[in-house]
Amino acid sequence: MKSNESAENYLETILILSGKKPVVRSVDIAEELGFKKSSVSVAMKNLREKQLITVRPEGYIYLTEAGREIAEMIYERHKVISQWLISLGVDPETAVEDACRMEHVISKESFAAIKKHINGEQ
């Protein structure tokens, strides 16, 4: 599970960075996450092998369709859970940190129920 969580965090970071920058490189990911570039390079190799990203000869990193699906799912969970915790009175910094852990382990059923509750559906 830990390696899956790590892969999901990298994919989510690539998604977020691709919204802020014209291109994403390993150095951008390392800077964003506070990791060594060598650690990021190993992770990018693993994501490439799983066909979740492609890396251009220039070093530009792009999500594949499968990688984008995972990244968008994790990012949606992160945003929804963070906002939900904040609305419950949790300090925003704590809410974001907790959401970062919860987004990887919550079941689809529980997440759907939280979303439904937040949207006022019964």
- Identify the CA nearest to 79 among candidates 16, 1, 24: 16
Q: In the prediction, which pLDDT does 35 show?
A: 95
- Can you give the pTM of this predicted structure? 0.88
For 69-117, the pLDDT digits (tens) are 999 999 999 999 999 999 999 999 999 999 999 999 999 999 999 999 8
